[in-house]
């Protein structure tokens, strides 16, 4: 398995203004051509964490098209979530888009009831692992981080991506849970969170990071600051660690019901 370069984009977000956010991210992505394999944006990167489903787009709307254009331009995959309407339902949908225009979806399974996300969005029902440049990648969104059973590695992924609008007041659980997911699943974990204040006066400190399978930090973003940083996930090191320390052989069997 070859190495994989991953870029974290920790950014403020223009509240409920998709066009302004797309324009902003163009500048952040433009310099990444040929320098990365995968770019990770925050949760609801076009709007901030709003329950205003009037802002929902369709899968043939402007943001999906924009993501396809950007992925092709920088020759890398892009992952982030946004509000999507489909089949009469509205989802907080993670979109993994590759340079050839391929689109793979993950609908957020664990909705954040405390912000009434359960009142406005439909939960996803499928656990999604995508393949990209020889890597198997689990797609997750924000509150999913608190549910380890859903993310349990069944020998089917090498890295997990968590995109978030995770408030500053709970920043410590954010970082510690990301480390826990990496250790318990023997995988790389990438967590990308936003910074700044949203339209509901909630503050976000970012704290975006990449964790390697033993729990060490490979990359971090300075809290409360915008940041674009790239690090390399070592495929050979991951395989070697799993072969020498195959903890999954003692894992308990379970059945996931959704």
Q: Cα-flanking dihedrals φ and ψ of residue 28, to 5°? A: -75, -30
| Beta strands at 89-97 and 195-197: parallel, antiparallel or unpaired | unpaired
pLDDT for the residue numbered 258: 66
The closest alpha carbon to 18, from 72, 81, 77, belongs to 81
Please give the C-alpha separations between residue 55 and each of 45, 59, 178, 180, 238, in angstroms, as whole numbers: 12, 13, 30, 34, 41
Q: Which of 117, 142, 227, 231 is catalytic?
A: 142
89 an active-site residue?
A: no
Judge if pTM exceeds 0.75.
yes
Domains of the chain (ranges plus CATH)? 4-246 (3.60.110.10)
16 an active-site residue?
A: no
Rg (CA), the chain: 17
* CA triple 164-113-167, angle to 5 deg: 35
- C-alpha span between 164 and 72 (Å, rounded): 24
142 an active-site residue?
A: yes
Contact indicator for 178, 163 with CB cutoff of 8 Å: no
Q: Which of 43, 57, 117, 212 is catalytic?
A: 43
Residue 227 CB: number of other CB atoms within 10 A?
Answer: 19
* pLDDT digits (tens), the chain, 258 positions: 899 999 999 999 999 999 999 999 999 999 999 999 999 999 999 999 999 999 999 999 999 999 999 999 999 999 999 999 999 999 999 999 999 999 999 999 999 999 999 999 999 999 999 999 999 999 999 999 999 999 999 999 999 999 999 999 999 999 999 999 999 999 999 999 999 999 999 999 999 999 999 999 999 999 999 999 999 999 999 999 999 999 888 888 877 776
Query: Positive or negative, the Cα torsion across 28, 29, 30, 34?
Result: positive
Q: Which of 57, 68, 108, 212 is catalytic?
A: 108
């Amino acid at each position: 398995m070859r190495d994989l370069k991953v870029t974290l984009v920790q950014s403020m977000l223009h509240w409920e203004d998709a066009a302004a956010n797309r324009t902003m991210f163009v500048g952040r992505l433009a310099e990444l051509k040929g320098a990365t394999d995968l770019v990770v944006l925050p949760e609801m990167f076009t709007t901030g964490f709003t329950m205003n489903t009037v802002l929902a787009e369709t899968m043939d709307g402007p943001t999906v098209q924009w993501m396809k254009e950007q992925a092709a331009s920088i020759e890398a995959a892009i992952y982030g979530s946004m509000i999507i309407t489909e089949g009469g339902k509205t989802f907080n949908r993670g979109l993994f888009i590759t340079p050839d225009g391929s689109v793979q979806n993950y609908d957020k399974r664990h909705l954040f009831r405390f912000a009434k996300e359960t009142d406005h969005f439909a939960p996803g029902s499928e656990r999604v692992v995508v393949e990209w440049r020889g890597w198997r990648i689990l797609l997750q969104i924000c509150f999913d981080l608190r549910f380890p059973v859903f993310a349990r590695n069944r020998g089917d992924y090498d890295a997990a991506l968590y995109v978030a609008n995770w408030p500053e007041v709970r920043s410590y659980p954010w970082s510690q849970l990301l480390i826990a997911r990496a250790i318990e699943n023997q995988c790389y974990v990438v967590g990308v969170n936003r910074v700044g204040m949203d339209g509901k006066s909630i503050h976000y400190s970012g704290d975006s990071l990449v964790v390697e399978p033993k729990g060490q930090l490979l990359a971090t973003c300075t809290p409360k600051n915008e940041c674009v940083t790239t690090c390399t996930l070592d495929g050979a090191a991951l395989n070697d660690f799993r072969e020498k320390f195959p903890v999954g052989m003692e894992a308990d069997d379970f059945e996931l019901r959704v």
